[in-house]
């Protein structure tokens, strides 16, 4: 499941400036003490506004640990529900959502 | 609570040097990747190969893509990058770091209802050009690059 994301959104007109902080190690494969530590990273992220996908990302392990993403969703208004889902390479995933204008 | 903190401290001090030692240039591909994902692009070891695997070859240089990144990044593990595309009809924004072991960082799909803007924080193994390829609605590709100098590499995260 992972730890909760922190999602902040600011409405500027009908655009929502969204900033998401995810708690994830974003490990690359590496050797530690003679053992291979497998890569563990978020591969896919999806943002939905009232259930409709508005932003998607496919990413690699080159994204920094505890990833931060910012993006701007069009056609948003106060009261809309914004949810963000990530999925990592071990099949783990997590969804968090906020209500716009309430944060 | 206290116990947690204790073990965390132990782990970080004990393994710190070792982790730092293997940190540089240690990016390897994951074994398990979904079918919908462009594996070839993520596993490519040069930017041109990755761009080719994505079918984005032949991108035109464009001044309509603004890349905001530090000229000198002190910590390669966290390099903030701001990308704004003023290319009309921007569909997606793809990011590459030329000198990373696996240059393809990712693709951000904005076509379904977002402004052509994205902010990310990436790892950079060493100084490199950061390359952005934008896919436009007319099926053409546009690119821009910016050099970022890295003083401490950060592939290990």
Nearest beta carbon to residue A28 from set B108, B119, B156: B156
pLDDT at position A1 = 62
List of chain A residues whose C-beta atoms are within 8 Å of the C-beta of residue B113:
49, 52-55, 73-75
Mutate to test the interface with B, among A36, A60, A76 (most CBs of B within 10 A): A60
Beta bridge partners, A54, equal none
pLDDT at position A33 = 83
Structural domain contains residue A33: no
Say whether pLDDT at B30 is over 60.
Answer: no
Say whether pLDDT at B112 is over 80.
Answer: yes
pLDDT at position B4 = 56
Range of the domain at A60: 6-26+38-92
Say whether pLDDT at B21 is over 70.
Answer: no
pLDDT at position B132 = 96
| pLDDT (average), residues A48-73 | 95
Say whether pLDDT at A103 is over 70.
Answer: no
Say whether pLDDT at B66 is over 90.
Answer: yes
SS (H, E, C) chain B: CHHHHHHHHHHHHHHHHHHHHHHCCCCCCCCCCCCCCCHHHHHCCCHHHHHHHCCCCCCEECCCEEEECCCEECCCCCEEEEEEECCCCEEEEEEEECCCCCCEEEEEECCCCECCEEEEEECCCCCEEEEEEEEECCCCEEEEEEEEEECCCCCCC
pLDDT at position B151 = 87
Structural domain contains residue A53: yes
pLDDT band at B153 (very low <50, low <70, confident <90, very high): low
Structural domain contains residue A73: yes
Say whether pLDDT at A97 is over 50.
Answer: yes
Alpha carbon of B14: minimum distance to chain A alpha carbons (Å): 11
| pLDDT (average), residues A84-94 | 93
Structural domain contains residue A65: yes
From A34-38, B38-42, B102-106, B152-156, the region with the lowest mean pLDDT: B152-156
C-beta atoms of A71 and B110 within 8 A:
yes
Structural domain contains residue A97: no
More confident residue, A1 or B8: A1
| Chain segment B121-140, per-residue pLDDT in tens | 999 999 999 999 999 999 99
CATH code at position A67: 2.60.40.10
Total domains, chain A = 1
Say whether pLDDT at A42 is over 90.
Answer: yes
Percent of chain B residues past pLDDT 90, beyond the cut: 68
Structural domain contains residue A74: yes
C-beta atoms of B106 and A69 within 8 A:
no
Structural domain contains residue A103: no
ipTM of the complex: 0.91
């Amino acid at each position: 499941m992972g730890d909760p994301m922190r999602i902040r959104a600011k409405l500027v007109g009908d655009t929502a400036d969204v900033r998401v902080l995810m708690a994830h190690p974003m490990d690359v494969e590496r050797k530690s003490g003679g053992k291979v530590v497998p890569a563990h990273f978020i591969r896919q992220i999806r943002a939905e506004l009232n259930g409709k996908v508005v932003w998607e990302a496919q990413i690699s392990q080159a994204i920094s640990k505890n990833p931060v993403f910012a993006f701007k969703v069009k056609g948003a208004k106060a009261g809309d529900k914004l949810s963000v889902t990530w999925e990592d390479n071990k099949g783990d995933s997590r969804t968090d959502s906020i209500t716009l204008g309430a944060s | 609570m206290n116990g947690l903190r204790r073990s965390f401290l132990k782990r970080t001090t004990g393994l710190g040097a070792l982790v730092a030692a293997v940190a540089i240039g240690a990016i390897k591909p994951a074994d398990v990747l979904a079918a919908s994902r462009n594996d070839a692009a993520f596993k490519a070891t040069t930017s041109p190969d990755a761009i080719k695997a994505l079918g984005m070859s032949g991108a035109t240089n464009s001044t309509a893509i603004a890349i905001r990144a530090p000229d000198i990044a002190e910590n390669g593990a966290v390099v903030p990058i701001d990308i704004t595309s003023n290319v009309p009809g921007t569909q997606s924004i793809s990011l590459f770091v030329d000198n990373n072991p696996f240059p393809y960082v990712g693709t951000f799909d904005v076509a379904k209802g977002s402004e052509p803007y994205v902010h990310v924080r990436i790892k950079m193994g060493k100084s490199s050009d950061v390359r952005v390829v934008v896919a436009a609605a007319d099926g053409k590709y546009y690119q821009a690059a910016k050099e970022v100098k890295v003083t401490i590499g950060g592939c290990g995260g």
